[in-house]
């Protein structure tokens, strides 16, 4: 399996990557995972990425692409395939990825564009609350704490993260669309994009992707 999952924050990419990967034994690769791996191994690339991250800056495109290329050249990945989760984010990255995969003789099979209406994503994300002490995560609708406003684990107050305030979520969605629409178009021109309705249950979305892929 060699696929890409593209979609806004809160659309359920991570869940789909885990479901697909779990069933087929295919690892999901995200830039976050790749950064952590290289930083833990203290490679040259990892140290470089760490310098940017510790200064609160974005890791430059070139460094990200090089790390991704290194991971994709891994013999294990060449055998198992991969699920790219949230990468590429720009047309430039998509372009480089095409070159890397062509060199490796591992063409992409599909690019799944997961779609859900903004209001659904806002309601999914904006109900999220985290414990101020132990970090346990709750959701006002799908996973409320037993005592409203307090953590079940440690009894500390639970709060909505700044990132999960409705206005912040709408802004993140706007930025995502602006940045990523050209990437989806890029793959559409190559005939690889399939749009998946991700407003349904994760299990239904998963079945859809699986049957489309097989
Ligand atoms: Zn807690």
The mean pLDDT of 138-158, rounded to a whole number, is 92
Confirm whether 22 is domain-assigned.
Answer: yes
Instruction: Show the domain range for 204.
Output: 2-117+169-213
pLDDT exceeds cutoff 90 at 158: yes
Q: What's the pLDDT score for residue 86?
A: 84
Domain count, the chain: 1
How high is the mean pLDDT of the chain? Answer: 91
In a domain, 147, yes or no: no
124 is a catalytic site residue: no
What per-residue string of b and e applies to 179-202 under the rule 16 or more CB within 10 Å gives b?
ebeebbebbeeeebbbebebbeee
Tokens of 134: 């132990």
Residue 59 pLDDT level (bands cut at 50, 70, 90): confident
Under the banding of pLDDT at 50, 70 and 90, the label for residue 57 is: confident
Residue 190 in this model has a pLDDT that exceeds 90: yes
Query: Does some domain include residue 164?
Result: no
Mean pLDDT of 130-137: 90
Query: Is 89 a residue of the active site?
Result: yes
- The yes-or-no verdict on residue 163 having pLDDT over 80 is no
What pLDDT, on a 0 to 100 scale, did the predictor assign at position 198?
Answer: 95
What would the mean pLDDT of 24-40 be, rounded to a whole number? 88
Strand ranges, E, within the chain: 2-6, 28-29, 82-85, 110-115, 128-131, 137-139, 158-159, 193-197
Centre of ligand 1 from the C-alpha of residue 131, in Å: 5
When pLDDT is averaged across residues 61-90 and rounded to a whole number, the result is 92
Task: With respect to residue 67, please indicate whether it lies within any of the assigned structural domains.
Answer: yes
Q: What is the rounded average pLDDT of the residues 200-208?
A: 94
Cα 37 to ligand 1 centroid, rounded to whole Å: 28
Q: Would residue 128 count as lying in a domain?
A: no
């Amino acid at each position: 399996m060699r696929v890409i999952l593209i979609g806004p924050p809160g659309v359920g990419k991570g869940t789909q990557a885990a479901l697909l990967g779990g069933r087929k034994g295919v690892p999901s690769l995200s830039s976050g995972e790749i950064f952590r791996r290289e930083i833990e191994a203290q490679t040259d690339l990892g140290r470089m990425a760490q310098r940017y991250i510790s200064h609160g800056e974005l890791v430059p495109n070139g460094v990200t692409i090089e790390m991704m290329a290194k991971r994709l050249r891994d013999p294990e990945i060449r055998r198992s395939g991969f699920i790219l989760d949230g990468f590429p984010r720009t047309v430039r990255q998509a372009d480089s990825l095409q070159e890397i995969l062509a060199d490796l003789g591992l063409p992409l099979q599909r690019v799944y564009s997961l779609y859900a209406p903004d209001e659904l994503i806002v309601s999914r994300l904006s109900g999220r609350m985290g414990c101020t002490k132990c970090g346990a995560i709750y959701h006002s609708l799908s996973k409320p704490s037993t005592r409203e406003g307090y953590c079940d684990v440690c009894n500390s107050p639970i709060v909505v993260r700044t990132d999960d305030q409705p206005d912040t979520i709408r802004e993140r969605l706007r930025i995502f669309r602006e940045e990523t629409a050209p990437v989806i178009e890029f793959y559409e021109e190559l005939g690889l994009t399939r749009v998946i309705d991700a407003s349904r249950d994760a299990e239904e979305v998963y079945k859809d992707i699986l049957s489309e892929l097989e």
